[in-house]
Structure 1
């Protein structure tokens, strides 16, 4: 079953969670009594199930489920569906509504594939998503600085032993080595950011 997740930074995660759940609960009860403002494909009011508290919420549709958690400074949104097309439909539906509800202070919903199981509301705390940083960032910066320093020292040693032509060649080799070290450090940082 395909799943994805978004960790949306906001000062009001509970407000958006409750607003989204109330909206779908209202649509479920009154779907046949007023014109639709958006398309919910082939849904009857009895097919929309919504449960929520101030910190957890679940939206169940016949083709997928959305689980929400209000964490300190973050709204965690996890969606799962019975196929990739339905997953994309659910992502679009939830992302559009969050965008509409946050018009004054727009929130960015960036979906990431997720393979982790999600706790049902109230079954345990899920740690908030933390952007890459802390020790990992300092480690990457440290590795890059050491690599650059070693290459510059090597280049300086070579330069001291060579004539003017050798100096140009050594300079170019040093520049290529520094660029390689920086590119490697950046690639390592991006890789760890995706994993973390």
Structure 2
């Protein structure tokens, strides 16, 4: 199975979870009256199964399954489908409804591939390209060490010429501080995408 996840920042994750689940639970009842009002082709009311509490919900459709979890400040959504077409169909369905329910304070749904495909119930397999996740960290640390060494060498060369010392040291300290800030922001952004 293919999976995708979205972590949607919101002050009211439980409200959106319950609203989405209630909508699909009721959709089964009124679908026969208005089958073309939503983009749900070839779907009968008996094919929609919805279960929810204030903090967790599950929506099962013929195309796949959507699980929701309301955590403080975040609505987590995970979608599982057998193929890419159905995965995209579920992503579009959930994104459209969350967008509709959050018209006053629009929520942005950004889907991330979870990186694992499920071969059998309860057993996830990790794709080969993710088995070496430590390699990326090693490369980042290596690049940082080389950059610091180059800056120290440049700084030492400049300090050898006493006429430039004051201005160049100030410039180098500023450049290093800006670079460290940018690297820190990039690492924080990368971590937030992963976690």
Q: In the comparison of the two structures, how many residue pairs are matched?
A: 162
2:156 maps to what in 1?
157
Q: CA deviation digits over 1:122-164, x for unaligned, max 9?
A: xxxxxxxxxxxxxxxxxx9xx97xx65x655432321244599
> Which whole-Å CA distance do the structure 2 matches of 1:162 and 1:34 have between them?
81
> Which whole-Å CA distance do the structure 2 matches of 1:193 and 1:13 have between them?
18
Q: Which has the higher strand share?
A: 2
Where structure 1 has 5 or more consecutive residues not aligned to the other structure, the ranges are 118-139
1:113 maps to what in 2?
113
1:128 maps to what in 2?
none
Trace 1:114-133 onto structure 2 (pairs within 5 A): 114=114, 115=116
Trace 1:95-110 onto structure 2 (pairs within 5 A): 95-110=95-110
1:33 maps to what in 2?
33
1:57 maps to what in 2?
57
**How far apart are residue 31 of structure 1 and its match?**
0.6
If the length of structure 2 is used for normalisation, what is the TM-score? Answer: 0.68
Trace 1:21-100 onto structure 2 (pairs within 5 A): 21-100=21-100
The reply to whether residue 185 of structure 1 matches residue 183 of structure 2 is: yes
SS of aligned partner of 2:18: helix
> Which whole-Å CA distance do the structure 1 matches of 2:192 and 2:151 have between them?
28
SS of aligned partner of 2:60: strand
> Which whole-Å CA distance do the structure 2 matches of 1:50 and 1:156 have between them?
64
If the length of structure 1 is used for normalisation, what is the TM-score? Answer: 0.68
**How far apart are residue 42 of structure 1 and its match?**
0.8
> Which whole-Å CA distance do the structure 2 matches of 1:184 and 1:104 have between them?
34
Q: CA deviation digits over 1:47-102, x for unaligned, max 9?
A: 11111111111110001110011111111111011101100110000011000000
> Which whole-Å CA distance do the structure 2 matches of 1:193 and 1:107 have between them?
18
